[in-house]
Structure 1
Amino acid sequence: MASTLCTRASSLVSSPTIRRRLPLVGAFCMLSLGLTNLCPTLSSSLKTGSAPSLPFFGSKFSNQARASSNTIKMEGNSKTVPSIVVYVTVPNKEAGKKLAESIVKAKLAACVNRVPGIESVYEWKGEIQTDAEELLIIKTRQSLLETLTEHVKANHEYDVPEVIALPITGGSQPYLEWLKSSTRD
């Protein structure tokens, strides 16, 4: 089964168009689905503390996973707070920059990544729409989601702005501590 998947994946990756888009697609998949949802063997390895044996990551990943003592799970750590990643789309670069800066200035997020060049396809008022947009990836405290959502609604030109939150279940302890100290209580 795994070899069949690897064979199919390698044939897909041979396309130049796919190769250019793979890093971005992979990042969105990892953020959206989470690595543990994509790889059940990794999920059980994380629970037991043993490094997974995954053919598509190779032994280098396994060695790095074993050596990493600076990563944490979010539960039960007083130096961090429950945190989330929030996706918001905006119509253009100027709107993205303005909104991102206002969010960080108000301490509603520690960091906002602006990802240009996305294209959204959706149905609006009974018609299929296609628009060039920019994606904001916002890292913040879970407790700030409602306030952040209200801030986005008040400062966004869309009637119904996208605000989608995903939990951060773990990561680099220094980064998560910085996220906590960079946002308001």
Structure 2
Amino acid sequence: MRSFPADKIAPSPNRWRRMKSHLYNIVFCSDLLAIRFTLALGALFIGLGMAWPAAIFPTVAQIEAGEGRNTYALMAQIAPEWLWSLCFTVQGSVMALSLITDYRSKWLLWVDAAFGVIIWTVSVSACYLAYWRGFDRIMEYRPPAIMGGEVAAALASWWVFVRYHFGSQAEQNRCGKCRRFTDRMP
């Protein structure tokens, strides 16, 4: 078996500096158009899915009996299905329209990002917490495995929100660190 010297495996200080610079560019300087479009489509599809005539959320009787779709039990207790549908559809529509029309009002983008963070974070957290039974039974916890895309959407919503909150400051103080700002705050 061939062994590699440690200096070949560990990145050099220059490489670390480059990696740090690339990470900074990805987080603070890359455009947000693709991620915002993906979030808009995701919110629209979830909103339309919840507006479907068949009930997705369990009823109060099903929740008390421990039946129905357990994943949505906590969401059903927070708000009715039509309200979740309306929230996701409005958020997705506003984001999609602001992208399509290239409308970049600082206020609208910030409110849309904040609303997206709230609905994505609350809905994903509610789906995961619906299965939570406490720390003493942590090994019995079986989270909904198919929710990876929704977790990514919640994290992406946070990313957009943070970028719109700190993006203009990063642009003003960029000192040549950012190569491009194609989706800047006005």
Q: If the TM-score is normalised by the length of the shorter chain, which range does it land in?
A: under 0.3
Q: Higher relative CO (CA 8 A, sep ≥ 6), structure 1 or 2?
A: 2
TM-score (norm 1): 0.24
Higher strand share: 1
Higher helix share: 2
TM-score (norm 2): 0.24
- Which structure has the larger Rg over C-alpha atoms? 2
